[in-house]
Structure 1
Amino acid sequence: MFSDLQNLIQLEPKFQTIIDTYGIPEITTRPSGFMALSQLILEQQVSMASAKACYDKVEKYLNGFTPELLLIASDEELKLCGVSRQKISYIKNLAFCIVEKQIDLESFHSKKEEEIFAELIQLKGVGKWTAQVYLMFCLQKKDVFPIGDIAVQHTMRELFQTETLIEMEDFANNWKPYRSLATYLLWHHYLKKRNR
């Protein structure tokens, strides 16, 4: 990561200012696969704590969290664990696609960002943000820029005076092939400035 950081700072000196002010961000990773993608779906539009509580209840109730177990469970059982009807349909669809071999999450390790992104957003309930976060945290892909993220947008406006999403994306193209690292630094700035 250190060599990537130096290369990124050469492309954009403002990232050095973020590091000087707030230190180097801690970059967390997640395992890849069905559980991780299901967790990201559960995290959509709710707090992380709420999503984790929901996931933990389902895992405890089913005594595991596999595609097969999800498909056996009734919608009512999952609803009692706190999963919304919409998200039940999303994670069950994901489970079905895996069991029926319509998607192979294990194959993603050898594919390029664009290929994986295209496959993920074909899944019901997996939008651009969820696909991009999966690429970054679960597959550690280096050149992802989740422009739909509110914190990224806010920081881009603040630090780079970009207003529209097109302007932000164009500006961020200058940071290729290190846009994932750039995103971690933008999040770091956003959170630290707000003492979070």
Structure 2
Amino acid sequence: MYFQYGEKEINTLKNRDKRLAALIERIGDIKRPLTPDLFTALVKNIIEQQISVSAAETVNLRLLKLCEGIYTPERIAKLSEQEIQQCGMTMRKASYIIGIADAVISERLDLNKIPEMTDKEVIDTLIQLKGIGVWTAEMLLISSLNRPDILSWGDLAIQRGIMRLYRHKTLNKVRFARYRKRYSPYGSTASLYLWALSKEPE
């Protein structure tokens, strides 16, 4: 499964911004994988924080093996912090993952209600969990819930993409907010292209 967007989103963004239009034309369709199961997405997001993609994949595979191939709160809760940490992550991350499993099991966090919430409600709910900040919650809105209008100020690659696209040497929150407004309500689709641009060699 991939992030869903189409002609409506693309045409709206192209009509509003010539530079973004040229970027979209040059890159073409982008397929960003989705993780529809929110608990799995939360675990993977914590694993991926501040490590390389290849390192995260290795840690993820080791932890999945311990969980018999699927992440559930119950399977995570049976593991000790040491067992999770030995998959290749810090003890702090291991405690965050166990904390999220405990929150779901105790029903302090009801994942079934998340899809019905607004973007702001999802962020406000998820940042109550240790290890989940605003940026992580915003990434989950895109990569798990397929929300259409996320452009994350906390994402350095997004900032870099904007600066490269518009040739800015710096980017402050006021200028960023103008771009967010311009791309709305399809900020997530714009994000896909800004991420792609940020990875290109200069």
Q: TM-score, length-normalised on structure 1? A: 0.91
Match of 1:41 in 2: 46
The residue correspondences of 1:129-140 to structure 2 (distance < 5 A) are: 129-140=135-146
- Is 1:5 equivalent to 2:17 in the alignment? no
Matching residue within 57, 60, 63 for 1:55: 60
CA RMSD, aligned part only?
1.7
Matching residue within 166, 171, 180 for 1:172: 180
Determine the C-alpha separation between the residues in 2 that align with 1:4 and 1:62.
38
Moved over 6 A (4+): none
What's the CA shift string for 1:81-101, capped at 9, x where partnerless? 223101011111110110011
Which shifted more, 72-81 or 127-136? 72-81
What's the CA shift string for 1:20-73, capped at 9, x where partnerless? 322232233222321111001100000122112112112212324221121221
Which shifted more, 79-88 or 20-29? 20-29
Determine the C-alpha separation between the residues in 2 that align with 1:128 and 1:115.
12
Which shifted more, 136-145 or 29-38? 29-38
Aligned residues: 194
- Is 1:155 equivalent to 2:128 in the alignment? no
Determine the C-alpha separation between the residues in 1 that align with 2:33 and 2:78.
32
3-state SS of 2:74 partner: helix
Matching residue within 128, 142, 149 for 1:143: 149
Given residue 18 of structure 1, which amino acid in structure 2 is its aligned partner? L
Instruction: Give 1:145 shift.
Output: 1.0
Given residue 18 of structure 2, which amino acid in structure 1 is its aligned partner? P
3-state SS of 2:30 partner: coil
Q: Which runs of no fewer than 5 residues in structure 2 stay unpaired?
A: 1-5
3-state SS of 1:194 partner: coil
| Contact residue 35 and residue 143 of structure 2 kept, 8 A | yes
Given residue 86 of structure 1, which amino acid in structure 2 is its aligned partner? R
